[in-house]
Amino acid sequence: MPIPQSRDSKIKRLLSLMLGALISLSYCLPAFAQRLGEFTSEKASFQVVVIASGLDHPWSIAFLPEGDFLVTERSGALRLIRKGRLQDEPIAGLPEISAKRDQGGLLDIALDPAFDQNGRLCLSYVAEAEGGRGTEIGCGIFRDDRLDEFKVIFRALPKNKSGRHFGCRLLFADGYLYATLGDRGNRPQAQDRATHPGSVVRLMADGTVPADNPFIGHSAYQPELYAYGNRNPQGLVQDPITGAIWMHEHGPRGGDELNRLMAGANYGWPVISYGKEYFLPKAVGEGTHMSGMEQPVHYWVPSIAPSGMTFYSGPDFPGWRGSLFLGSLKFQELVRLELDQGQVVAEERLLSAEFGRIRDVRQGPDGALYLLTDAAEGQLLKLTPAE
Ligand SMILES: [Ca+2]
């Protein structure tokens, strides 16, 4: 016999049911979400669904508090996906961006850690000025679906006319903003601490230089530098458990690297590398080891062309917890690395050539994995447990 309920408790129960439905709706799939199939990993079974299509070479994702997404397109637009629908109009208020049919354009987006309170977000992009093009970072306030008060907080100098190796992954961690900068196709700059290209810089959130950056006090060096000797780093992520920061970079022909980011470290490019020249069977630089230069934790020969990167720590895939995921542009794969004591102990390749070049990989606030595919009709995909 059912326990009689007061009218109040019935209303409470109804309200709590409605609230639960609203919460589960916030990141749930739109009714028209297209399911692309089920796949198996050594440690999980998963399905892939399309969240949005029609993105022009998307580069990076940010997760908004209400379950919406902001996605950068390399061609220069910032797009809003609201309630599972890509909005027609790009976000207004962006700076002038130099986007050509090369590696330059609008690149990364990172929400300020206090985004919920201040609405602030930062972008990395390529800008043109005297001397050519270069990576810049600027931040603005996202309100009423536009970007207000946009301010440039960093310019990588010198600029040049090359269309290559702009980086630029952004990471807010431990109160700082880190950014990776490519060598702009001018290799010696990676070892030259008087220039920015080919390095990782560390800024305060407002763009000022932290007083304890490692090369402060060397007047010839750029004060923003945190590490150097990088070719084209485009992955940067913090381990949510250990707090360590990991990065990867594109090698030449072979020699893509996974590195631990450390203050003041020299990652060796172009003096040491596991890669070869593009048109010669000739190694780049002076070998693979040199004292004073870091060895990568892991490297890939042949190159995978690594893109976005994330640690997985969510509830959906217990077997993937602690794995480091990265996209491979070249092999059109999702790469899963298992780490133990800071070393890579296993590597698994997923989704080989299923969906094209994978440009970004992120764990969403809902614990699912999200991917961007790099194409003129790029997609935002979501990985959830197989049904
Ligand atoms: Ca290196």
CA–CA dist 209, 192 (Å, integer): 19
Type of residue found at 300 = W
Q: Residue 23: pLDDT above 80?
A: no
Whole-number pLDDT of residue 279:
85
Contacts of 261 (CB under 8 A, 6+ apart): 178, 200, 226, 227, 236, 244, 245, 246, 247
The total of other beta-carbon atoms located within 10 Å of residue 286's CB is: 12
Whether residue 13 is predicted with pLDDT greater than 70 in this model: the reply is no
190-233: per-residue pLDDT in tens? 999 999 999 999 999 999 999 999 999 999 999 999 999 999 99
The H-or-E segment that residue 16 falls in is: helix 7-26
The amino acid at 268: G
pLDDT: is 15 or 251 the higher one? 251
pTM above the 0.85 mark? yes
Q: Report domain extents, the chain.
A: 34-385
pLDDT at 16 over 60: no
Q: How far is the CA of 166 from the centre of ligand 1 (A)?
A: 17
Nearest-CA neighbor of 27 among 382, 293, 386, 385? 382
- pLDDT tens, residue by residue, 356-365: 999 999 999 9
Mean pLDDT of the chain: 93
Q: Look up 250 and say whether it is catalytic.
A: no
- As a whole number of angstroms, the distance between CA 276 and CA 265 comes to 23
Structure token digits, residue 266: 């020299």
DSSP class of residue 242 equals T
The rounded Å distance from CA 27 to ligand 1 centre is 39
The Å distance, Cα 303 to ligand 1 centre, comes to 14
CATH number 3.40.50.2300 given to 34-385: no
Catalytic residue among 57, 165, 196, 250: 165
Q: Which of 365, 369, 366, 299 is nearest to 334 (CA)?
A: 369
pLDDT of 234-292, one tens digit each?
999 999 999 999 999 999 999 999 999 999 999 999 999 999 998 888 889 999 999 99
183 Cα to the center of ligand 1, angstroms: 13
8: pLDDT strictly greater than 80: no
| Structure confidence at residue 15 (pLDDT) | 57
Could you read off the pLDDT of 331-349 as tens digits, one per residue? 999 999 999 999 999 999 9
pLDDT tens figures, 181-192: 999 999 999 999
Per-residue pLDDT at 280? 83
| Residue 92 pLDDT greater than 80, yes or no | yes
pLDDT of residue 30: 54
Distance 269 CA to ligand 1 centre (A): 5
Radius of gyration of the chain (CA): 22
pLDDT value for 27: 53
CB 336 within 8 A of CB 41: yes
Residues 6+ apart with CB under 8 A from 320: 41, 43, 44, 312, 336
The residue assigned the tokens 């950056």 is 213
Decide if pLDDT at 29 tops 80: no
Burial 207-243 (b: 16+ CB within 10 A, else e): bebbeebbbeeeeebbbbbbbbbbbbbbbbbbbeeee
- The CA 282 to ligand 1 mean position distance, Å, reads 17
Residue 25 has pLDDT above 60, yes or no: no
Predicted confidence (pLDDT) per residue in 154-190, tens digit:
999 999 999 999 999 999 999 999 999 999 999 999 9
